[in-house]
Amino acid sequence: MDLIIVLQAGVATGTILLFATLGEIFAERSGVMNLGVEGMMLLGAMSAFSIATRTGNPWLGLLVAMLAAGLISQIHAFISITLQADQVVSGLSLGFLATGLSLVLGEGLSKAGTITLIPSWTVPVLSQIPILGPIFFTDHKLLVYAGYIIIPLAWYYINHTRPGLHLRAVGEYPAAADSLGVNVYALRYLYVLVGGVFAGLAGATISLAIAPGWFSELTTAGQGWIAIGLVIFAQWDPLRAAFGAYAFGALRRLVLDIQAPMMLFGFRNPFYYNPYWGFFLEMLPYAFTIIVLVIGSREAIRRRLGAPTALGIPYIRGERGL
């Protein structure tokens, strides 16, 4: 087991979680919780693979994936913002709808064969840096490098720009933002759209780059739920989200690699000789997600972690409240 390879693979697979988590951070920062990330990712993965198969152009597939997931996210925006319905129920319903659409429209795609994928690239000079070079700058897909650029941009946008100030305002004190002329409804629609676009990007990253192909609901394998857990783990901060996404990516690869050798640190490898231990390891990321979601469901703990004050609360102009 080579630790460098584990970490390099963790950066690659962590990019999927990174995009999905950043999108959900934007949506939740505006006060709208969207639990349909898993479904939107699946729709993005299916759309990207389908378009790339038909046209031979993976970049067009990427664009369509982002548009498709962004458009379907507006159903959740309409229900939760305009109709002021429960965001949890609406988000879950969106996830089921997007998953169903993906499975119906993606019928037969698994037999599509070889397609053109997002290319890989090694960064000159930076790839020669000891340890860090092979992990972060060697033979990665271009979308991995795009993730490096988006992380600081997202952090700076949220914390140091006027649009970012408006985003935080509508998620913390929408009534105050409204009184200052900020259009709360329009901004919430916009950032739910942004969340959907990022989820579509995450799905396309799976099917066109990191794990190419269409494997129906196994394509995303619950990564959308892990992304939602990472939002709470990251305390709604893009930099912490990046650390969590890459760490989880490395953990998922470690779980696979640790089962391969017969000997581990000079001892019989229990994960090699007893496959049930391997199943237990594979369960860990999802167990973590459940624990984080349970903790995050408690209002007092969520506020202590820094959750937006108005998260999950519909805004009604003229009504007393946040």
pLDDT digits (tens, 9 = 90+) for 81-109: 999 999 999 999 999 999 999 999 998 88
Residue ranges with strand state E in the chain: 120-121, 140-141, 263-264, 267-268
32, 6 Cβ separation under 8 angstroms: no
Predicted local distance difference test score (pLDDT) of residue 275: 72
CB–CB of 226/17 below 8 Å? yes
- How does DSSP classify residue 128? G
Cβ(45)–Cβ(66) below 8 Å: no
Distances (CA, A) of 190 to 26, 170, 193, 230: 10, 12, 5, 22
Q: What is the pLDDT of residue 49?
A: 95
Q: Does residue 320 lie in a domain region?
A: no
Query: When comparing pLDDT for 285 and 41, which is higher?
Result: 41
Q: Do the domain assignments include residue 307?
A: no
**What range does the domain containing 212 cover?**
3-302
pLDDT-based confidence at residue 320 (cuts at 50, 70, 90):
low
C-alpha neighbours within 13 Å on the C-beta side of residue 248: 31
In 3D space, the residue among 96, 310, 101 whose CA is nearest the CA of residue 224 turns out to be 96
Each residue of 138-179: pLDDT tens digit? Answer: 999 999 999 999 999 999 999 999 999 999 999 999 999 999
Residue 317 lies in a domain: no
What is the crossing angle of helices 87-105 and 58-77, to 10°?
A: 140
Asked if the structure places residue 36 within a domain, the reply is: yes
Question: Residue 321: inside a domain, yes or no?
Answer: no
Indicate whether 314 belongs to any domain.
no
**Cα-to-chain-centroid distance, residue 285:** 14
Q: Given phi > 0 = left and psi -120 to 50 = alpha, else beta, which region is 303?
A: alpha
User: Is residue 79's pLDDT more than 70?
Assistant: yes
Asked whether residue 201 is assigned to any structural domain, the reply reads yes
Supply 24's token pair: 């959900």
44 pLDDT more than 80: yes
> In the Cβ-directed half-sphere of 34, how many Cα atoms lie within 13 Å?
45
Q: What angle do CA 314, 319, 322 make, to 5 degrees?
A: 60
What integer is the mean pLDDT of 251-278?
A: 78
| pLDDT the model gives residue 262 | 80
pTM (two decimals): 0.92
CATH of the domain at 209: 1.10.3470
Which residue, 199, 58, 53, is CA-closest to 120?
Answer: 58
173-228 tens-digit pLDDT: 999 999 999 999 999 999 999 999 999 999 999 999 999 999 988 999 889 999 99
Q: What percent of the chain has pLDDT over 90?
A: 70
Check pLDDT > 80 for residue 235: yes
| 146 occurs within a structural domain | yes
Q: What are phi and psi of 121, to 5 degrees?
A: -155, 145
What is the Cα–Cα distance from 83 to 77, expressed in whole angstroms? 9
On whether the CB atoms of residues 18 and 248 are closer than 8 A, the answer is: no
pLDDT confidence tier of residue 47, bands split at 50, 70 and 90:
very high
Q: Supply the pLDDT for residue 15.
A: 97
Neighbours of 304 (CB within 10 A): 10
Q: What's the number of domains the chain is made of?
A: 1
Worst-scoring range by mean pLDDT, 65-74, 94-103, 309-318?
A: 309-318
Cβ count within 10 A of residue 263: 9
Which secondary-structure segment (H or E) carries 304? Answer: helix 299-304
Question: What residue spans of 112-161 are helical by DSSP H?
Answer: 132-136, 142-160
What pLDDT is recorded for position 268? Answer: 80
Q: What are phi and psi of 263, to 5 degrees?
A: -115, 140
- Interatomic CA distance for residues 23 and 196, integer angstroms: 7
